[in-house]
A and B are shown apart, each in its own frame.
Chain A
Amino acid sequence: MPEHKVLQIIVDPERCQGHNRCKAIAPRLFELDELGHARAVGDGTVPPGLEDKARLAEANCPEFAIKVAQA
């Protein structure tokens, strides 16, 4: 069985200021609350094929609020 590295997204709610860059880059991985602050969809597990999007969202967050790590 090929090794599959599952990634997980964690958004730090204390750091997120609602720039919404993550939502624009990866709308399937992030959702916004009524104030526009981001959280990961579901438990933050990145579905196969969206790993690059998750990494890009992490790399574009102006507040360094997103961490993407192996689950």
Chain B
Amino acid sequence: MTDRPPVSDWAKDFDHLDPRWVTEPYQIWDELRRQCPVAHTERYNGVYFPSRYADIRAIAYDTEHFSSRRVVVREMPPRVPTDSGKPKSPPGASTLASPPITSDPPYHRPARMLLLPAFTPDAIGRLEAKTRAICGNLIDRFASNGHCDAATDYAQHVPVAVIAHMLGLPEGDGEKFRRWIHLLLHEGIAENASFTQALAEMDDYFRVQISNRRSIPGEDLITFLLGAQMEDQPLSDEHIIGTLRLLLIAGIDTTWSAIGSCLWHLAQHRDDRRRLVSEPALMPLAVEEFLRAYAPVTMARQVAKETTVGGCPFKEREMVLLSFPAANRDPEVFPQADRVLIDRAENRHAAFGLGIHRCIGSNLARMEITVALEEWLARIPDFELADPASVTWSHGPVRGPRKLPVVFR
């Protein structure tokens, strides 16, 4: 990772990879919201950071001026083609396009509609028993030890196992998936070599999987995509690989971060722990509140056409961090926004995004978070951080605890 000059002015020179932003962003955002609701930095070739709910919502809805052709802010803009303006990439080219997350209208809608039926509440409900078993098996491994790392021994394994099951991939490949995600979303933010290497490895991996399914079809999402049609045409291998890359990346890091943040909170709040154990019916409200307060995902947009939002001009080609976590902390929309109230009944949070790119896996994520917390609390109702100073947080588009040592009786 390159050395970064320290930040002296969050409004005009912010750095979302700065250690202070990574470990404790909420105070910075609160200050920005009061003093300079659209911050900007010249770093990363120019990035805006709106911190008010209203501005973030306006940008999420405005696909004319804000394109999804780049959804991650990186040190160096990638040179590979994306799909937002052109649906076809050259055959064999390693492409960054991961439809539909990197697609703009009109290409976005058909690519998204294809996937939606696999992620409805009913479809996801059928995975609940499997998820419960996965969580139970993980807890079996450390329950009698009196301690574990709730991130590396628990949270990170849950979504890996579930998405591997959905895609028909071996659970044993989980370590490989986590490495790719680390290279793409963590190291690869600043190091293009890591980024390119992970893309190439994923490409090879999925080409083999696709070829296997062509010989022996399964009952998984890869087989489904091979048979799917978009506007009466089968999907190109590039489209399928891009979508698989999206499902794998978006289905793992995000939910593992959310589960980790929930456990981080509960480890430090005995009253919330006890209340969830004694009032299990409160769990749906608590999960929505954890999603609001600790929303893991910050997507990005690229300014496609110059425009003005919240009184600030946005220059063409610069990037915008679309911080749903910051929107969720806006006191204009959420009373006591900085407090976690696990029985908050009115909670119009934006953790899964707003507008046409609403997270397609939101029902899957909710189910996994809920089951992971229920199973944990059933076996380990009382637990605490082993050492608050040893907790580390990820940087980049997905925020969550990466080291989370806890102790319990």
Contact = CB atoms under 8 A, between A and B. Distances in A.
Interface of A: 17-21, 23-24, 32, 34-36, 56, 59-64
Contacts of B350: 62
Contact of B347 (A32, A36, A60): A60
B129 interface: no
Interface residues on B, range: 20 to 34
B12 to A, nearest CB: 31
Contact of A36 (B121, B345, B346, B356): B121
Interface in B118-133: 119-122
A19 B362 contact: yes
Q: Is the interface of A mostly helix, strand, loop or mixed?
A: loop
A24 B122 CA distance: 12
- Counting from the closest, the 4 A-B pairs by CB-CB distance are A17-B358, A35-B116, A36-B120, A59-B346
Contacts of B347: 60
A36 to B, nearest CB: 4
B346 A19 contact: no
Given A20-B363, A56-B346, A34 B354 contact: no
Contacts of A34: 117, 120
Contact of B348 (A20, A24, A60): A60
A61 B113 contact: no
13 contacts: A17-B354, A17-B355, A18-B116, A18-B358, A24-B121, A32-B122, A35-B120, A56-B345, A59-B346, A59-B348, A62-B358, A63-B354, A63-B355
Nearest to B359: A19
A38 B121 CA distance: 12
B284 interface: yes
A68 to B, nearest CB: 13
Nearest to A55: B346
Contacts of A63: 354-355, 358
Interface in B310-351: 345-350
Contacts of A62: 348-350, 352, 354, 358
Contacts of B362: 19-20
Given A61-B348, A62-B348, A62-B352, A20 B121 contact: yes
Nearest to A24: B284
Given A36-B121, A36-B363, A56-B346, 6 more contacts: A19-B358, A20-B362, A21-B288, A35-B113, A63-B354, A64-B348
